[in-house]
């Protein structure tokens, strides 16, 4: 009789024999599959605008908006290089359009937001209506709506693109089409959507024009900024967030986009915030002012000092705290609507 094989050999033989059958033992990976806490591969990162801008302008010389279709430099998480992702679920990029250019009309199931970083006078057209871009405006391209971008003014215009590209890729649910026309036909004057839906009033009879996405596709900075400044003067400042508002879909009171939450916050001068962590990793665009974000996870700590037009990412379940000497205004977006729809959104406010 043969001596029984040692346990390790028995297991390794089993793994080798079942390998060609596309079978693998759970017990070897279980700890990583259901970790005790979120364990993202993403890391915090900062893109300084003064470093990025020269590359954008060089891109402007290297390729036209028309040839590129979208002339964008993707902000890739340093630990997700090659994946066109800033977090596991979100895409971010900086798009440049120059006077006289057109980024041709197309549509896709991926939803997009724009946050205007530099320059005025370019437009984006959604479903027959144009909206002019100004710095600090938050603009939405709802899933599966035709959209083109154009520029008939004087100066380069740069905006932050935030899309749910990695999420839609994860679900293998991406479709896209190019329009036969370069620029879509304008069918409504600029401002129609805002007049209908943007004044705390909505038409008595209407169908939601963009399904689960907000019927307002431009939230002008003028309005958001004024609200934040009023709050700073008259309302208590939150010890973690400063004065932070979320954008809403006026038809539902919920998020403006089904996959992406958007926020704008003001940190008063001298603000030294308390630390927090949450499961939704978030991307920030600095609209005004300067400050610092301290981010930590495990043994590691990052100190990111930000200035106007800089961009940074706070990954899932990283502890973060914000400070600002001068005071600042921050726009941010995350995948929180999906966490909430699944009942898995978690936040801890620490002190
Ligand atoms: O403007 O339609 O940054 O389709 C990436 C994909 C922008 C856009 C991006 C896109 C767009």
Q: Whose CA is nearest to atom 10 of ligand 1?
A: 70
**Which among 163, 164, 175 is the best mutation to test ligand 1's pocket, defined by most ligand atoms within 8 Å of the CB?**
163
The token duo for 268 is 């008063």
Q: How far, in Å, CA of 294 to CA of 303, rounded?
A: 5
Whether 112 lines ligand 1, by a CB cut-off of 6 Å, is: yes
What is the CA(161)–ligand 1 centre distance, in A? Answer: 7
Q: Look at residue 27 and tell me whether its pLDDT is greater than 90.
A: yes
DSSP 21: G
Q: Look at residue 3 and tell me whether its pLDDT is greater than 80.
A: no
Q: What share of the chain is helix, strand, coil (3-state, %, to 5)?
A: 20, 35, 45
Please choose, from the candidates 225, 231, 256, the residue with its C-alpha nearest in 3D space to the C-alpha of residue 243. Answer: 231
By the 8 A CB rule, do 294 and 321 touch?
yes
Whether 335 lines ligand 1, by a CB cut-off of 6 Å, is: no
Predicted local confidence at residue 326, as pLDDT? 96
Measured in degrees and rounded to the nearest 5, phi and psi for residue 119 equal 90, 160
- Please, what is the average pLDDT of the chain? 96
Q: What is the largest CA-CA distance in the chain?
A: 90
Predicted local confidence at residue 238, as pLDDT? 98
Q: How far, in Å, CA of 87 to CA of 141, rounded?
A: 20
Predicted local confidence at residue 5, as pLDDT? 79
pLDDT digits (tens, 9 = 90+) for 261-271: 999 999 999 99
Q: Look at residue 194 and tell me whether its pLDDT is greater than 90.
A: yes
Whether 273 lines ligand 1, by a CB cut-off of 6 Å, is: no
What is the CA(62)–ligand 1 centre distance, in A? Answer: 18
What is the CA(70)–ligand 1 centre distance, in A? Answer: 6
Q: Judge residue 16's burial from the number of C-beta atoms within 10 Å of its C-beta, 0-12 exposed, 13-18 middle, 19 or more buried.
A: exposed
The DSSP-derived string for 25-93 is: -GGGTHHHHS-SS---S---EEE-HHHHHHHHHHHHHHS-HHHHSS-EEE---TTSTTTT-SSSS-EEE
* Domain boundaries along the sequence of the chain: 39-349
Overall size of the chain counted in residues: 351
What is the CA(202)–ligand 1 centre distance, in A? Answer: 29
Q: Which atom of ligand 1 is nearest to the CA of 103?
A: 1
Element (H, E) at 129: strand 129-132
Predicted local confidence at residue 165, as pLDDT? 98
Mean pLDDT within 156-165 = 98
Q: Which atom of ligand 1 is nearest to the CA of 149?
A: 1
Predicted local confidence at residue 1, as pLDDT? 59
Please choose, from the candidates 144, 41, 39, the residue with its C-alpha nearest in 3D space to the C-alpha of residue 83. Answer: 41
Predicted local confidence at residue 153, as pLDDT? 86
Q: Which atom of ligand 1 is nearest to the CA of 108?
A: 4
Which CATH architecture fits 39-349?
Sandwich (2.60)
Q: Whose CA is nearest to atom 11 of ligand 1?
A: 70
What is the CA(326)–ligand 1 centre distance, in A? Answer: 34
pLDDT digits (tens, 9 = 90+) for 176-189: 999 999 899 999 99
Whether 105 lines ligand 1, by a CB cut-off of 6 Å, is: no
Scanning 191-257, the segments in alpha helix (DSSP H) are: 192-197, 221-234
Distances, alpha carbon 291 to alpha carbons 48, 190, 266, 304, in Å: 13, 36, 11, 9
By the 8 A CB rule, do 346 and 301 touch?
no
In degrees, to the nearest 5, what angle opens at C-alpha 291 toward C-alphas 280 and 339? 5
What is the CA(214)–ligand 1 centre distance, in A? Answer: 19
Q: How far, in Å, CA of 287 to CA of 309, rounded?
A: 6
Name which residue leads in pLDDT, 44 or 235.
Answer: 44
Please choose, from the candidates 76, 65, 82, 189, the residue with its C-alpha nearest in 3D space to the C-alpha of residue 125. Answer: 189
Mean pLDDT within 244-262 = 98
Residue whose pair of structure tokens reads 């320059």 in the numeric block: 119
What is the CA(110)–ligand 1 centre distance, in A? Answer: 9
Q: Look at residue 88 and tell me whether its pLDDT is greater than 90.
A: yes
Q: How far, in Å, CA of 106 to CA of 118, rounded?
A: 24
* pLDDT interval class at 64 (50, 70, 90): very high
pLDDT digits (tens, 9 = 90+) for 277-324: 999 999 999 999 999 999 999 999 999 999 999 999 999 999 999 999
Q: How far, in Å, CA of 149 to CA of 141, rounded?
A: 11
Predicted local confidence at residue 293, as pLDDT? 98
**Percent of the chain having pLDDT more than 90?**
96
Mean pLDDT within 188-217 = 95
Q: Look at residue 143 and tell me whether its pLDDT is greater than 80.
A: yes
Whether 93 lines ligand 1, by a CB cut-off of 6 Å, is: yes
Whether 95 lines ligand 1, by a CB cut-off of 6 Å, is: yes
Q: How far, in Å, CA of 323 to CA of 312, rounded?
A: 14
């Amino acid at each position: 009789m043969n001596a029984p094989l040692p346990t390790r050999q028995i297991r390794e033989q089993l793994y080798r024999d079942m390998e060609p059958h596309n079978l693998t033992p759970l017990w070897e990976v279980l700890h990583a599959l259901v970790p005790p806490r979120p364990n993202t591969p993403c890391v915090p990162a900062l893109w300084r605008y003064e470093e990025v801008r020269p590359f954008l302008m060089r891109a402007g010389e290297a390729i036209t908006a028309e040839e590129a279709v979208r002339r964008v430099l993707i902000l890739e998480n340093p630990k997700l290089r090659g994946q066109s992702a800033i977090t596991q679920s979100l895409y971010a990029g900086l798009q440049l359009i120059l006077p006289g250019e057109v980024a041709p009309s197309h549509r896709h199931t991926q939803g997009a937001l724009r946050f205007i970083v530099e320059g005025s006078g370019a437009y984006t057209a959604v479903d027959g209506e144009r909206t002019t871009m100004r710095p600090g405006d938050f603009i939405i391209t709802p899933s599966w709506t035709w959209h083109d971008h154009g520029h008939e003014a004087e100066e380069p215009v740069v905006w932050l693109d935030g899309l749910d590209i990695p999420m839609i890729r994860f679900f293998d649910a991406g479709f896209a089409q190019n329009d036969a026309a370069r620029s879509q036909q304008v069918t409504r004057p600029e401002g129609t959507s805002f007049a209908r839906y943007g004044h705390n009033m909505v038409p008595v009879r209407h169908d939601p024009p963009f399904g689960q996405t907000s019927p307002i596709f431009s939230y002008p900075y003028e309005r958001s900024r004024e609200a934040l400044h009023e709050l700073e003067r008259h309302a208590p400042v939150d010890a973690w967030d400063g004065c932070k508002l979320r954008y809403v879909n006026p038809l539902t009171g919920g998020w403006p986009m089904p996959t992406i939450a958007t926020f704008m916050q003001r940190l008063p001068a001298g603000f030294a915030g308390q630390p927090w962590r949450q499961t939704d990793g978030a991307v920030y665009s600095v609209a005004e002012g300067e400050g610092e974000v301290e981010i930590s996870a495990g043994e590691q700590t990052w100190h990111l000092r930000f200035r106007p037009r800089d961009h940074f990412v706070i990954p899932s379940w990283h502890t973060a705290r914000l400070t600002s000497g001068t005071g600042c205004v921050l726009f941010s977006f995350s995948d929180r609507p999906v966490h909430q729809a699944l009942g898995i959104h978690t936040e801890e406010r620490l002190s």
